[in-house]
Amino acid sequence: MAVPETRYARSGDVSIAYQVVGDGPFDLVLIPGAGSHVEFIWQVPVLRLMLERLSSFSRLLFFDKRGTGMSDRIAGIADLETRMDDVRAVMDAAGSERAAVFGASEGGVLGDSVCGYLP
């Protein structure tokens, strides 16, 4: 599988790097943990395998949180509402109206919280 194109969604004044891979019957948003890099993740065999498997049954959307990877740098730590805005911005930019949410590491906490706020 080729590495997908990195795209950018605007969330407030910040650009959020994201990728979309797969064409399954539903969208799946992967919320990263403490650190991420949408292009480097493809170089780590076990993480590449995870992306390939998740995208084998879904249209997978994954992104770098603000301040990490290829997303814009920020001062401080974003609060929960801002991080939910970032997820919505990625979904909007990718044309996703509804998605299942999967959070890894600290992204799991956001995944639990975001479910009540996303369509």
- Read off the CATH number of the domain in which 49 is found: 3.40.50.1820
Domain membership of residue 2 (yes or no) is: no
Q: What is the mean pLDDT of the chain?
A: 87
The parent domain of residue 29 ranges over 7-114
Residues 40-64 pLDDT 10s: 999 999 999 999 999 999 999 999 9
Dist CA 88 CA 73 (whole Å): 19
Residues 16-28 pLDDT 10s: 999 999 999 999 9
Whether 67 contacts 33, CB under 8 Å: no
pLDDT > 80? residue 108: no
Domain membership of residue 1 (yes or no) is: no
Q: Which residues contact 103 (CB under 8 A, 6 or more apart)?
A: 30, 31, 33, 109, 110, 111, 112
pTM of the model: 0.87
